[in-house]
Amino acid sequence: MSEVLLFHHALGPNEGLRAFADELRRAGHTVHSPDLFEGRTFATIDDGVAYADEVGWGEIMTRGDRAAEALTNDLVYLGFSLGVVPAQKLAQTRPGARGALFVSSCLPVAEFGGWPAGVPAQIHGMDADPIFIGEGDLDAARELVSSADDAELFLYPGDQHYFADSSLPSYDAGATELLTQHVLGFLARAGA
């Protein structure tokens, strides 16, 4: 089984992401889900991103680093949207990563150096999500897939950014079911 460090999106840790983490736990994986926002939650993406801007993205990544420090190096890093920032940084820079799972976001590989050899990755997004498609995440995902030894990109039909958060109106049960199948298969391989 895999040990996963899951980072939340711009709304903060919420019931929908806790439900996703619980689904992974029911499959036998250990999931850690730190709070990058120190108890704050937000109603909109813009508000959450404004908070991250206010405290500084360096601080958000430092909070991610601190969450990882208390854990083994043999982690799978999982990020949802804003949470991809610390997840991708750790996957690319912290030795021992077992894998990386990015949902609704992906940064250019050069942001944190090259993609590490032997670290598998999956990137998931909706094919008409204006943020994932329009802000360069899809291009970054394709670059990661072409530069990594073992990386896959999964696009789901739809235009929702937070499609996998069951606590929000943007939730897409069908896409989330497929996402969960892909993630569970990935975690089974990473933990072997």
CATH for 28? 3.40.50.1820
| Residue 39, domain extent | 3-190
Sign of the C-alpha dihedral computed for residues 81, 86, 91 and 97 taken in this order? negative
Domain count, the chain: 1
CA of 121: how far to CAs of 58, 84, 117, in Å? Answer: 23, 12, 11
The DSSP 8-state label assigned to residue 153 in this structure reads: E
Sign of the C-alpha dihedral computed for residues 181, 182, 184 and 185 taken in this order? positive
d(CA 77, CA 5): 5
**If pLDDT is split at 50, 70 and 90, which confidence band does 191 have?**
confident
Segment 152-182, tens digit of pLDDT: 999 999 999 999 999 999 999 999 999 999 9
Segment 108-127, tens digit of pLDDT: 999 999 999 999 999 999 99
pTM, two decimals, is 0.96
Output the pLDDT for position 103.
98
